[in-house]
Structure 1
Amino acid sequence: MSTPSPQLLVAAAQQTLGMGKRKGPSRAICLHLAGEVLAVARGLKPAVLYDYNCAGALALQSYLEELQRLGLLSPGLHILEIGEDCLIVSPKHACQHLQQVLHGTVALVDVSSSQPYPSLCSLDQLQDLKVFVAEITMHLQELQRDLSLGVCPSRLHSSDWNLCTVFGLLLGYPVSYTFHLNQGSDNCLALTPLRVFTAHTSWLPGQPPVLLYSFSVPENLFPNLRHILNAWEKDLRTRFRTQDDFADLCITSEIVTVPAVAL
């Protein structure tokens, strides 16, 4: 499929995602969002979390329909409402990733504030989360049977969910943080050296690269997580070779230490 001009991509976002009399997202955000959505459609990431303004599911539905009309997307994406947030999801690729979660090939790191330092944990130790992942997987499997209906949003009940963990899993991170909700949202990552991974790719000529992934792992756990991270990178590079919209995949990491980490 041909790529619409940047002007058309910007107009599509600003006309559908603007809030009342307010202008829609900036030109840079519009182009980056279109790149992220295309990356979801091409299987380079299972979902993107929309957090640029307060545009809701119906506005995002109009946005995806406009991108389809412009020829950027084929039908197949879905808008998933969880709590107050909306994700643009590829049900097929999100299901694939969540199946890996259920099979234990995605790592979970407990960063509860009651702990002196982060520690690895398994999905079997977090039965509630395991139930949530199975529920989301079943929901997405049902959606795959109804993609002929076009773009339509759906909502999942989430009052008992750790959304930090759920979003990390849905966004395709090979390592996701979790913590005990009864201890609040504080965590034990303050002043902990973190290895931050980013994956960028070029798309539109003359425009900044599209950020595909950005996540971190505690540096002290990196040796234990290396095999999972290597498998994630290998899989991403394999998926990347199956498409020709993006070029120059670049995966980097750096170690940072900050006084506080918001999850």
Structure 2
Amino acid sequence: MKRTIFKLHPICQAMHARELFVAASLKCLSTGRKSLSIPQSLDVAAQLSAVDLALKPTLLYDANSASAEQVHRYLRWCQSSHLVSDSLVTLDLNGNSLILNPGATRSNLEKMLHNSGPAVIDVRHSLEKPAIMEPVRAGLKSIAQDLLFLLSGLDAAKDVDKGIYVAEGSDEWNLSAVFGLLLGYPAIYWFDQTESFENCLAMTPLTVTTASATWPAGDIDHKCCLYSFSIPAVLQNETLPSLEEWKLGLQERFQQQNILKELTVCQSAVTLPSVCL
């Protein structure tokens, strides 16, 4: 007897995935008696999907105060439910939880080592105004090498259930620059933290670039922010090549997938009395 195979309508499939993602956040990311709201759960899911699709190399988890262990359980739950690929890994960096696409992250780190990575902007408090750092500090390249070494170990690892934990030496890293590098920004901020944790961005006109997309989740179209970063307006011309290359790369990767829709990249101008990095 010939068996009939029924396939779910795409909208039903999306609704099923949405329910699984929400269930994963309720099960794994709740802190105390407080759980993520459905919009928050969908936003984390959309961000995770973007990392899985290599639209962004890394997700820095900041939806609530869930621990790195909880974020890792969330990823593994999503992977076991076949919501995202098994290649994604978690990184615990001094208590900061990140979810990485190893291939996309390696590509960004290797560009830094070959002097074709993001523009590095020096924002030390002692400077009158931000400046492009030429050449890129050796310390940043050393950090990129350390991270690449950690990721290279995944190729031979048979079990990555525990994720990656970075502790030794990372307390001396400039996390603002490290996060910008891991998140795939075309320009990252650096300051000498041995000198001061303050910066020279106060009352400095900034151009904020935001990239957003729509994640169809059944009967809900959830709009999520994929990227948001700022560049001092005074350095806009100097950083334009890096910004244009980033934008073109994002558009090309977006066209190669069919999960997220309606990519929008826009800019706005802000001037703040203080900027925390």
Between the aligned partners of 2:261 and 2:99, the Cα distance in structure 1 is 22
Give the number of aligned pairs. Answer: 260
Deviations 1:153-209 (A, max 9, x none): 111131110011101100110100000102222111111110100000111253331
Deviations 1:68-87 (A, max 9, x none): 23331120110101112110
Q: Secondary structure at the match of 1:181?
A: coil
The aligned counterpart of 2:36 is: 25
The offset of 1:125, in angstroms, is 4.5
Q: Paired residue for 2:70, among 36, 59, 70?
A: 59
Deviations 1:116-155 (A, max 9, x none): 0000003x44222221111111211222443x53543111
1:92 aligns with 2:103: yes
Between the aligned partners of 2:48 and 2:98, the Cα distance in structure 1 is 10
1:255 aligns with 2:269: yes
Between the aligned partners of 1:252 and 1:17, the Cα distance in structure 2 is 31
Q: How does 1:1-263 map to 2 (within 5 A)?
A: 2-3=13-14, 4-20=16-32, 22-105=33-116, 106-122=118-134, 124-146=135-157, 149-157=159-167, 158-205=170-217, 206-263=220-277
Q: Contact (CA 8 Å) 2:59, 2:98: kept in 1 or not?
A: yes
Deviations 1:41-86 (A, max 9, x none): 1100110111122222321222112212333112011010111211
**Could you state the TM-score of these two structures normalised by the residue count of structure 1?**
0.93
**Could you state the TM-score of these two structures normalised by the residue count of structure 2?**
0.89
Structure 1 residues without counterparts, runs of 5 or longer = none
Between the aligned partners of 1:153 and 1:214, the Cα distance in structure 2 is 26
Q: Secondary structure at the match of 2:263?
A: strand
Between the aligned partners of 2:18 and 2:120, the Cα distance in structure 1 is 39
Between the aligned partners of 1:163 and 1:247, the Cα distance in structure 2 is 31
Between the aligned partners of 2:206 and 2:156, the Cα distance in structure 1 is 40
Q: Contact (CA 8 Å) 1:76, 1:150: kept in 2 or not?
A: no
Give 1 or 2 for the bigger CA radius of gyration.
2
Between the aligned partners of 1:81 and 1:61, the Cα distance in structure 2 is 9
Between the aligned partners of 1:144 and 1:220, the Cα distance in structure 2 is 42
Between the aligned partners of 2:129 and 2:115, the Cα distance in structure 1 is 22
Q: Contact (CA 8 Å) 1:79, 1:151: kept in 2 or not?
A: no
Between the aligned partners of 1:69 and 1:129, the Cα distance in structure 2 is 35
Structure 2 residues without counterparts, runs of 5 or longer = 1-9
Which amino acid in the other structure matches residue 63 of structure 2? Y
Between the aligned partners of 2:49 and 2:160, the Cα distance in structure 1 is 16
Taking only aligned residues, the RMSD between alpha carbons, in angstroms, comes to 1.7
Which deviates more from structure 2 when the two are superposed, residues 22-31 or residues 168-177? Answer: 22-31
Between the aligned partners of 1:231 and 1:154, the Cα distance in structure 2 is 30
Which deviates more from structure 2 when the two are superposed, residues 160-169 or residues 200-209? Answer: 200-209
Between the aligned partners of 2:269 and 2:97, the Cα distance in structure 1 is 30
